[in-house]
Chain A
Amino acid sequence: KAGVTQTPRYLIKTRGQQVTLSCSPISGHRSVSWYQQTPGQGLQFLFEYFSETQRNKGNFPGRFSGRQFSNSRSEMNVSTLELGDSALYLCASSLGPANEKLFFGSGTQLSVL
């Protein structure tokens, strides 16, 4: 079985631009969660989608949004990028709700200049 796939691996953007990150979960997994990882704040929960519905949302501004498609693939979008959005964005999938075992992708490293 293929693991969780995140694309792209690296991304460089400038302030004010927007970006879309993609996550393909393990086949059969219906839950996809997104996390932002920075050296200062550590891992912070962004949101979780389960069967195309947003089930949970973390404390991030409305510039951060996401969605899940019928095949469970998920995208997250960040609009009006700020320097502080530079981070590793990790996606994780699980069979059921995200309080079960999470399977992570290798992340997308976003640099905002």
Chain B
Amino acid sequence: GDSVTQTEGLVTLTEGLPVMLNCTYQSTYSPFLFWYVQHLNEAPKLLLKSFTDNKRPEHQGFHATLHKSSSSFHLQKSSAQLSDSALYYCALSDWSNNRIFFGDGTQLVVKP
């Protein structure tokens, strides 16, 4: 079955340092991968998505490359900002169903 693994529950960074949040997945069929971001007391919203191998979508300075060979879709940003502090979910769907599976989420805290 489909599943998503986010290994870090909490990532704490100093402003200006690079961000990398890990996401690996298992999928029987060709997957669609997403990153959603949830700021405090707000609803989750889409940050970026991909279904093409080795393509790198970008949004608000964040980017992620889908690597089907390693089943990974890590989220990266070159320089963290205080406003990036939020809960980040990696998510997965595929051609077999219309359910989107979410990982456990990674809380990113950016400090001055």
- Asked if A pairs with B, the answer is no
Residues of A that sit less than 8 Å from B by CB? none
